[in-house]
Amino acid sequence: MKYKLGNIINFLDSHGWQRIRQTKLFDVYHPPTILELPKEFYIEIPNNEEDRGFKKYIDGIAEILDDVYGDRYAVEDFKTFFASNNSIFRLQIIDHDTKLGTIRLERLKNAFNQVFNSIKQAVVFSVSNQPIFGNAKYEVAQYINFCRGRQTEFGSYILKFELPENHLTLMGERSVPNMLFDSIQFLTYVSSEYDIKDIDKGFIEEHKEYINIELFEAIIKLYKEAEIQNVNVSLDSNKVAKESYYENLRDELGKIQLTVKEIKDILLESVPLETRGIIFRLSSKEIESKGKIWIEADIAEEKQIIEVQLSSERYKKAVEAHKDGVEIYVKGIAKQMRNKYVLENLEEFNIK
């Protein structure tokens, strides 16, 4: 692990440390007042990362910062910040069941699975920039390959993940770690500060940089399946330090779900669904008239059932595609039903 002087300086600057003087060999930093350290406290950072002993010296700085920040960070966190641009996402579940630092195994499994799913959806949103029905299967697999689980800490129950900043194929993707944290924050803020009647197309346009339905639904699943009541969420890197505490989430869950449903209903009025899939059911084997088909497709990294009404000419082609087991491509406006999407106003239909 090679430390980079620029990363160390970025961490200190972004966390409120002030450079008070420079010497030939060191930059001297004074801590932010929020840490409530003695006025004479300072740390010295060597100003040449190529010098012998640089790594050993910075290892010592990491130990000092671990004492300074207490429970907020671990020594290995600082080493990550100093060596890379990766972020650490930390989720602390706080209730009676976790007060001794343990958690029921079923809750742990659900929490881990849904954080994992939320990360995947954050990747999709980052790449596609679509509020719903985004796809980025290759980028998700690539990004997840670089994510790592971190050693947990004592104190209620804490899940920690190391998330890369940029390991996607597109040059303009947004930060996945920030996307995940900001979506959690935005979802809770909107459900508490806005009435359902305030959610309209104007609201969606104004806040479109934060809105992604699949990511919101993954966060809701996290709250439900991990039975989260109170939670502390933080995101840290050498550039950011974010932290939010949410309480009584079980009491607020109904309002959060209604808020997401309202946003989704509005989006489905005008957002096209575009996907490929295999036909697994036909309404009839007769090919002389129009008919319905049902396909299974990956939509935003989840398997979904799509029902499509076809004209007689297209239905003939669909029967052949079903017989040959080949994919079809459809595009149109989707309406969500209880366990499927119905594709209305079909715009395009092609056999792969």
What pLDDT does 287 receive?
A: 65
List, for residues 183-218, the tens digit of each pLDDT value. Answer: 999 999 998 899 999 999 999 999 999 999 999 999
What does pLDDT average to over the chain? 91
What pLDDT does 167 receive?
A: 60
Could you tell me which residues come within 8 angstroms of residue 146 by beta carbon, excluding any fewer than 6 positions away? Answer: 164, 167
What pLDDT does 129 receive?
A: 87
What pLDDT does 168 receive?
A: 62
Could you tell me which residues come within 8 angstroms of residue 68 by beta carbon, excluding any fewer than 6 positions away? Answer: 31, 35, 37
What pLDDT does 79 receive?
A: 95
What pLDDT does 169 receive?
A: 56
List, for residues 66-123, the tens digit of each pLDDT value. Answer: 999 988 889 999 999 999 999 999 999 999 999 888 999 999 999 999 999 999 999 9
CATH class label, 272-351: mainly beta
The residue-averaged pLDDT of 251-260 equals 94
State how far the Cα of 119 lies from the Cα of 77, in Å rounded to an integer: 20
Q: Kindly report the pTM of this predicted structure.
A: 0.84
